Amino acid sequence: MSFSADGPANSPCGVLSPSKGSSRRFRSRSNLDWRARHRPALELRVRVTGYSQFAEKGIKAANANGDNFLEVPWRGTDVVMHIMKRLEDKLCIPVMYWRLAADGIVFDPITPVAVHPFFEAKKIVGVAFVPDLVLVPTHVVEEYVTQHLPSGTQHQWKALPSSSTASFDLRERATALFNLIRPHESASWEAYIRQRTHADSILRATLDKYTGIPLHPLLVQIHDGVKSTLSSTSLRLDEQSAVADGVVPLYFNVVESDDTRPTTLFSEAEVLTRIYSPTTSAAVDVHLKYVDETPKDRTDYSFRVIYRIHAPVIRTAVAQHETYPAVGQNGWLLLFELELDAKSVPENKWGPRPADVKKLHESLLGPPHEEPNALVNAMDVGDTMFLLLAAVGMSASIPTSKEAVKNISLASETGLWKVCDSHWLGRSIRRACGSTTQDTQ
């Protein structure tokens, strides 16, 4: 069944499809009235109207009173598809033919409503507020977005626009699309183009969730931290932008701190970012896992960052997020890990040796080159290490001298999390980058 000029066609929608535990018997009017009287006063509901005359006609036909809207319940545990299925039961038009939208944003059916800013803003304790959604037929989704998305409300991540090219050379196409800088020869440019385009679309979908409202503080921290890190290098401004545009957050999930931890924003966090090289057909994944329950349990603290090199990129699409990425599996390598023992003493692990850091550096910026203006020379290995950390939200300066004070907070300007031994972390970075400075404990 689909939308047509005559509205939705007839369908076997009169057949009951009761939910688990429900009865197939007709309930008496008095029983229905009793249920209405005892329904929770603050039941969460959405009101859905139609976009286009066909959607409006379908909704009006499904409303018993002939009104131009339908209401269905929603819960904090729903994904958008749950709401769509409840609406489908009333509308009798399969969900494959339409989407739900609001404020110019078309919702992905698999989006959990608990984490989407639109629904979270409507779930106000003590207020029976009904958010308005729009049913948009799939063939007019682009038209709806164009007409309803307010100008200037869409968050932008990239600094440089893509260019068009008529060339069939894959390296030239990649250069035009992603503003590459003196890219090297490679047989993997086609996979690089297709995968990076897919990664950009994932990030775009995430940014669109925050259209018209402030961006999530973690995304702000990543974006601004990467820019700050690159500004301290010898790269030109356009080169800084080209490198920054290749930093693509793919996944993040955070748990905000409670009142027992007022100085940090998160008590748990997981972040996955892919950094695409601006000069080779390679990429590097960076994954952060953070848990801090120390106010409740003084030893329940861990902070781990791991990385993985794709040199070159082989897959044509971004693989599904790994639930529990582990060092030694699927190419993952340890960058560092911080934990506390039973006496709250830091137990720290560092991964890469100087040769490993050099490999990371050259994977992102190209092999050694005599040209002084080459990217691999404009950024040193320390800059690359800071870029990896900034890509997952660790953007504040890390102590890099023996005079640095222990236990200062990373990302202190937003207080995202704490590092139990940042002095050790700074010292480990210096050693991995080949510093011969003698550090004191």
Query: What are the extents of the domains in the chain?
Result: 29-148, 170-432
User: Residue 58 — very low, low, confident or very high, per pLDDT cuts 50/70/90?
Assistant: very high
φ/ψ (deg, to 5) at 117? -55, -35
What pLDDT shows up at residue 373? 67
**Edge-to-edge strands of the sheet including 45-50?**
70-73, 45-50, 132-137, 98-102, 105-106
DSSP single-letter state for residue 10: P
Residue 164 phi/psi, 5-degree rounding, is: -100, 150
Amino acid identity of residue 354, one-letter, is P
Architecture of domain 29-148: Roll (3.10)
pLDDT interval class at 301 (50, 70, 90): confident
Query: Per mean pLDDT, which range of 89-98, 234-243, 263-272, 323-332 is the poorest?
Result: 263-272
pLDDT surpasses 50 at 27:
no
pLDDT at residue 150, rounded to an integer: 66
Q: How many Å apart are CA 344 and CA 255, to the nearest integer?
A: 23
Contact 138, 101 (CB under 8 A): no
Q: Which residue has the tokens 């992603």?
A: 178
Return the percentage of the chain with pLDDT > 70, whole number: 75
More confident residue, 241 or 346: 241
Residue 174 confidence class, pLDDT cut points 50, 70, 90: very high
Task: Specify the residue for token string 């590459």.
Answer: 180
241-286 confidence digits (pLDDT tens) = 999 999 999 999 888 776 555 555 677 889 999 999 999 999 999 9
* pTM over cut 0.85: no
In whole angstroms, give the CA distance from residue 347 to residue 307.
20
Query: Which residues contact residue 6 at a Cβ distance below 8 angstroms, ignoring those fewer than 6 apart?
Result: none
110 near 79, Cβ under 8 Å? yes
Quick one: pLDDT at residue 237? Answer: 93
Q: Which of 242, 240, 226, 252 is nearest to 391 (CA)?
A: 226
Cis previous bond, 312, omega within 30: yes
Which of 139, 74, 71, 134 lies closest to 104, judged by CA?
A: 134
Predicted local distance difference test score (pLDDT) of residue 123? 52
421, 407 contact by CB (below 8 A): yes
Q: Which helix (H) or strand (E) holds 266?
A: strand 266-276
Looking at every residue in the chain, the average pLDDT score rounds to: 79
| Residue where the block lists tokens 């031994």 | 421
Query: What local confidence, expressed as pLDDT, does residue 364 receive?
Result: 93
Q: In this structure, what are the phi and psi dihedrals at residue 296, rounded to the nearest 5 degrees? A: -95, -40
Nearest to 386 by CA among 270, 224, 229, 227: 229
- Whether 393 shows a pLDDT value over 80: the answer reads yes
Residue found under tokens 């626009």: 161
Residue type for position 336: F
For 132-169, give the DSSP string. EEEEEEGGGHHHHHHHHS-TT-S----SS---------
Greater model confidence, 78 or 369: 78
pLDDT at 173: 94
Contact of 178 with 162, CB cutoff 8 Å: yes
